[in-house]
Amino acid sequence: MFSFQEYIIGWGVYLFAVIALLFVFWRMTRFITWGYARDCIRLLGAVFLLLPITIDSSAYYWAPAWIKALLNIIFANPDVFWPIARLFILALCSTYLVYFLLSFFISLVNKGRTNMASNKASTYVSDNVRKEPKISAVNV
């Protein structure tokens, strides 16, 4: 097994590579015009790459869940894949729930701000009307 320092360095390299990969994935999905679909695809990639899981129940070491699932499918019993898949689906559902709740509350706040701005604009319109004096031509 690795020493703790090598373990931390390995996770640092992995996280740097994931950040670079997510940036590329972010750029690849920018052409999708519908924002909710684009954001859901981006969240799917982030959860897929960033979800950790313990290597085994007796160790305190963690690994990316997709790597453990892939190695279990290839080298071990494929039935071990399903607990990891359940964890992935649970993490994905909770991430989507948080995303949709945050986007809902942000849209409510933005609607409130636009309503307040339109109310302020309508009150300032009547206050800012310049009253010109009426000048009439004098008959000579």
Give pLDDT, residue 79. 82
For residue 125, pLDDT beyond 70: no
Q: Are strands 52-54 and 62-64 parallel, antiparallel or unpaired?
A: antiparallel
For residue 131, pLDDT beyond 70: no
For residue 127, pLDDT beyond 60: no
Q: What percent of the chain has pLDDT over 90?
A: 40
Q: What is the CA radius of gyration of the chain?
A: 28
Whether residue 84 contacts residue 72, with contact meaning beta carbons closer than 8 Å, is answered with yes
Task: Give CA–CA dist 132/119, Å, rounded.
Answer: 25
Region of 90 (left: φ > 0; alpha: ψ -120 to 50; beta: rest) is: alpha
DSSP 80: G
Residue bearing tokens 């607990």? 83
Whether residue 119 contacts residue 104, with contact meaning beta carbons closer than 8 Å, is answered with no
From the list 107, 81, 95, 82, the residue with the least C-alpha distance to 50 is 95
From the list 8, 84, 12, 82, the residue with the least C-alpha distance to 48 is 84
Give pLDDT, residue 120. 63
For residue 113, pLDDT beyond 80: no
Residue count of the chain, please give it.
140
Express each pLDDT in 12-31 by its tens digit: 999 999 999 999 999 999 99
What single-letter amino acid sits at 19?
I
Dihedral sign of CA atoms 135, 137, 139, 140 in order? positive
Give pLDDT, residue 133. 62
Express each pLDDT in 27-51 by its tens digit: 999 998 888 889 889 999 999 999 9
Q: pTM for this one?
A: 0.69
